[in-house]
Every structure is written in C-alpha cells, then in structure tokens.
Homo-oligomer: A and B are copies of this chain.
Amino acid sequence: MLNIGKFSFASRLFLGTGKYKTAEVQKQAVEASETEVLTFAVRRMNIFDSSQPDPFEDMDLKGYRLLPNTAGAKTAEEAVRIARMADAAGMCDMIKVEVIGCDKTLLPDPVETLKASEQLLKEGFTVLAYTSDDVVLARKLQELGIHAIMPGASPIGTGLGIVNPYNLAHIIEQAVVPVIVDAGIGSPKDASYAMELGADGVLLNTAVAGADQPVKMAEAMKLAVQAGKLGHEAGRTEKKFYAQASSPTEGMSQL
C-alpha cells in the first residue's frame, strides 16, 4: 500500500483530469486506469470560476481521493489562496503545490514552492509538491514535513520521459516520504522505469488524455506501473558489457 499522510492507496497511478476530448472518454479512462486519486486544476473548476464547466460531470467521485493542484499560481501567495478555495469547496483531500516559474518549460519555482508548502503545512493540509528533479530541493521540502514529493521526469506535457534517471535515483535514495514521479511521462515504458527506479507512484495526464485512444492508454499505464513496481521489488540483473550465455554451453558434449 502507498501511504500519503493519513491516506492509503492500493493503486500507485494518479491520473490528471482535463484535456480529454469528451467527459465520457475521461470517465472511461479513469475507470480503466483503476486510479484512486484524481488531480485537477482548481482554477479550471467552477468552484473557482462559475463560467467553467464541471470537469467531473457524470462521475461518481466516491471512491476517489481528490488532489487539486494550484496550477496557474506564480507565487506562493497565489498557490495558498487557490488551496484554501479548494478546501472551502470541500474538494481537497490533499493539495498539490504547483508554482510555475517559467512559461516555456512550466518548470516549478523552487523558492515559491518551498514557501507555499510551508504555509499549507502549517494550515494542516496534506501537501504534495511538484518540483524539478533538484535533489537538494527535494530534501528541503522533506525537512518542512511535506507528505510526498513529486519530482518531474521532464517538463509537463512534453512526453520526454525520464531525462535524468540519476537525479531521480538520488531523490528516491534519500527520500523519507513517498516519491511520486510527476510530469513528462510519455509512454508505458517511462511509467515502468520510474517505478523500477524505486518511485512510490506516478502521476500523469497528457500521456493518457493526449493518446489516440486514451482509454487503452490508461489501461497500459496501469499495467506499466504494476510491472515497474514488481520489477523493482524483484531486483533486476546487473548490466554487463560482455555477453553472458543464457543457454550456457559449458560442460556440453561436443558435436
């Protein structure tokens, strides 16, 4: 089981909402993924802006934990305001701190992310923070008492996968809270790789919502996360430069 704060999850795949062509496709993809956590941008919700559609229309939210994010915030202050609003609307089991520092890469602002996380922790939120793969920043967030860290594999929506497995491996090795790899996952192999490196979970959105067949990709991701988790636990063989016969011939009779 994956434990974050007071919550426990059997599934290690967190799925974003939004970006689907229809609400029906989103619903089916969510079901196929078997996720237990739905994430969404508070600022796109009609709790925030009544002109926005309800992203969860027709979905029965029982059985899901809601992980609103603070996307759109560029400062800690904005992030905190967004989080409080989600909480006031009763749509905030956990909050994902997301403070963007660069419009082109949507990479997070390390200083504002720390500030927002600190404040929200004080206010009693269960806080997960989206960060770059900066090893030291991940430590600092944990020193604040954060409930999970969410380092990116690569920039949001790029599908580049895990560009820097070394940093992720260091973050995981040093982590004292769950590590959820977030952003940049492009295909099942990336999700599996994150788990093989020892991550505790994966959050993704575009890889599923932007696939030609989102429902099928959601199922693929579910399996990939399971495969990677099992692969990590099973302990892979070491990489070698020279070949090793898998059909050994030592001791064989000669032709």
A→B interface (CB under 8 Å): 16, 18-19, 40-41, 43-44, 48-49, 51-52, 69, 71-73, 78, 81-82, 98, 101-102, 104-111, 114, 132, 134-137, 139-140, 154-160, 163-164, 166-167, 169-170, 173-174, 183, 186-193, 196, 205-207, 209-214, 216-217, 219-224, 226-231, 233-249, 252-253, 255
Q: Are A69 and B212 in contact (CB under 8 A)?
A: no
Q: Give chain B residues whose Cβ lies under 8 Å from the Cβ of A174.
A: 102, 104
Q: Are B78 and A255 in contact (CB under 8 A)?
A: yes
List the 7 closest pairs (A to B, CB-CB), nearest first: A212-B235, A157-B244, A101-B136, A41-B247, A71-B247, A220-B230, A106-B243
Q: A135-B107, A223-B223, A243-B105 are in contact. Are A248 and B19 (CB under 8 A)?
A: yes
Query: Which residue from chain B places its CB closest to the CB of A161 in the assembled complex?
Result: B239
Q: A19-B248, A233-B213 are in contact. Are A228 and B189 (CB under 8 A)?
A: yes
Tell me how far the C-beta of A47 lies from the nearest C-beta in chain B, rounded to whole angstroms.
12
* Partner of A110 from B136, B166, B236 at Cβ < 8 Å: B136
Q: Are A246 and B111 in contact (CB under 8 A)?
A: no
* Partner of A102 from B109, B110, B136 at Cβ < 8 Å: B136
Q: How far is the CA of A198 from the CA of B212 in the complex (A)?
A: 15
Q: Are A192 and B156 in contact (CB under 8 A)?
A: no
Q: How far is the CA of A176 from the CA of B101 in the complex (A)?
A: 17
Given pairs A105-B170, A187-B236, 5 additional interface contacts (CB within 8 A): A16-B246, A109-B140, A187-B196, A192-B224, A217-B231
